[in-house]
Amino acid sequence: MDLATMGGVVLAVVALLLGFTLDGGSMAALANLAAFILVIGGTLGATLTSVSFFQFIKAFKALRVALVHRSPEPLAVVENLVALAAVARREGLLALEERLEGMDDDFLRRGVQWVVDGVDPELVRGMMETDLSYIEERHHKVAHVFETAGGFAPTMGIIGTVMGLVHVLGNLSDINRLGPEIATAFTATLYGVASANVVWLPLANKLKSVNEQEMLLREVIMEGVLSIQAGENPNILGEKLRTFLAPGDRHRKSESEAGEVSAQTAGD
């Protein structure tokens, strides 16, 4: 589980509730099941109307994967590609076929398979770039679902508040209850604005961030596969691929870490 995401949501909710109670507010005043159903149900319904059912379901499945899945370390990907380049340079491209089964990344496996099969380099580049563009498009569609929900939620909150005020103003027989009932009506607006800015929009940004990280790794893999096919020197390849990374991520922090990765790569 991505602790940053869960921790961020919890921190935001706690900060809002704590600020409300420290100001003299009562937690019970925020509890309104009708407003919750109206805002959340209305938001999900409006979002589903805006996108296809398949895209809607896929967005929540992709969110679960994004929050649970841990992307491989970029430097480890570079080191793995350098190791593959060393094998190809020493034993030939066909020797990489033995390593295909041990590759967890489908994008890398497909690229290496095309190289082993002797596919033209330009065709390999074209297919990998097409694959990249469609992966990115799918990720943007998923993030768009949550952005759409974030746009509808505040409006649903306002609708809920207006409906509550209509109910309150239609029954003015007890003036003493007017204040509390108006306050209750405004909980719908609170739910709408809070859910948009604490849940929906942050999740959309999280998915965009995950997409950026994954696209970077895919670009590194594509460049590495094409360089392996071209027979580049493994050391030069390593230096070239490290330019994709931030300066602080280009080298291991300690020799022991490097030894662990080297041993891991050798065992693959």
65-117 pLDDT per residue, tens:
777 767 788 899 999 999 999 999 999 999 999 888 888 889 999 999 999 99
* Per-residue pLDDT at 260 exceeds 60: no
- Contact partners, residue 186, CB within 8 Å, separation at least 6: 161, 164
Q: Is the pLDDT of residue 226 over 90?
A: yes
CA distances from 37 to 31, 32, 33, 181, 257 (A): 12, 9, 6, 18, 51
Residue 162 above 90 pLDDT? yes
Q: Residues near 97 by Cβ (< 8 Å), separated by ≥ 6? A: 116
> How far apart, in Å, are the Cα atoms of 139 and each of 66, 72, 151, 171, 212?
10, 18, 19, 49, 10
pLDDT at 264: 45
40-55 average pLDDT score: 95
**Mean pLDDT throughout 132-139?**
91
For range 123-135, the mean pLDDT: 94
Q: Is the pLDDT of residue 177 over 70?
A: yes
Residue 252 confidence (pLDDT) above 80: no
Closest to 36 measured CA to CA, from 170, 181, 156: 156
pLDDT at 102: 84
Phi/psi for 69 (5° steps) reads: -70, 135
The 3-class secondary structure across 64-118, one letter per residue, is HHHHHCCCCCHHHHHHHHHHHHHHHHHHCHHHHHHHHHHCCCHHHHHHHHHHHCC
Q: Given pLDDT bands bounded at 50, 70 and 90, which one contains residue 147?
A: very high
State yes or no: pLDDT of 27 exceeds 90.
no
CA max distance for the chain? 90
How remote is the C-alpha of 173 from its chain's centroid? Answer: 52
Which structure tokens are listed for 1? 């589980």
> pLDDT at residue 120 above 60?
yes
Neighbours of 78 (CB within 10 A): 24
The residue that leads in pLDDT, 178 or 227, is 227
Distance CA 186, CA 199 (A): 19
**Torsion sign over Cα 95, 99, 100, 105:** negative
d(CA 161, CA 167): 10
Confidence of residue 248 (pLDDT cuts 50, 70, 90): confident
Please name the residue ranges forming H helices in 196-254.
Answer: 201-230, 234-242
Question: What pLDDT sits at residue 3?
Answer: 76
b/e per residue 236-253 (b: at least 16 CB within 10 A)? ebbebbbebbeeeebebe
This prediction has a pTM of 0.80
DSSP 171: -
Mean pLDDT of 1-19: 84
pLDDT of residue 1 exceeding 60, the answer is: no
Mean pLDDT across the stretch 236-252?
A: 87
Taking 50 as the threshold, does the pLDDT of residue 38 lie above it? yes
If DSSP codes are grouped into helix, strand and coil, which group holds residue 63? Answer: helix
